[in-house]
Amino acid sequence: MHYCFLNLQLVCFLSLFYGGLCELQTSCQSGKVYMGWCQYNPNYTNASAYAHCIKRYVVQAVLFKRPFSLTPSVVHLGLSQLDIRSNDHDVRLEVSAQSITPYGFNVHFSSWADSITHNAGVNWLACL
């Protein structure tokens, strides 16, 4: 590993003369994004209180702090938070990274059927 690391440093140094190869090999950025909070409606005590928290479809845009020189080849999402009302309901949530560009991407959160989703969060990692 140590040898590889040193070798990578050398490649990075040499790449200063060949236009950004170093960034191609080593650049990653990361962050966290949330679906957004859905509060129950306190005016109801029955299922209507959660009507707007089911079948949610939320798109959150992520902007990279520094644009990549190319579209990142890897964008990985890891669930970091689920706030889902689960009694008598299945937990249903899908997250995906879409519309990936050098500047950012969109995180799509979707729930379906009768799942009541208050919030969800993902950690994201993007690498060239």
Q: Which residues bind ligand NAG (CB under 6 A)?
A: 41, 43-44, 46-48
Q: Which is nearer to ligand NAG, 53 or 126 (CB)?
A: 53
Element at 98 (helix H, strand E): strand 94-98
Q: Is the dihedral of CA 35, 81, 75, 13 positive or negative?
A: positive
Reference 34, options 109, 126, 89, 97; nearest CA is 109
| Min CB(48)–ligand NAG separation in Å | 4
Q: Identify whether the C-beta of residue 69 lies closer than 8 Å to the C-beta of residue 128.
A: yes
The answer to whether 122 touches 79, Cβ cutoff 8 Å, is yes
Report, in Å, the least distance between residue 112 CB and ligand NAG: 18
Nearer to ligand NAG, 54 or 122 (CB): 54
Find the shortest distance in angstroms from Cβ 42 to ligand NAG. Answer: 7
Select 46 or 87, whichever has its Cβ closest to ligand NAG. Answer: 46
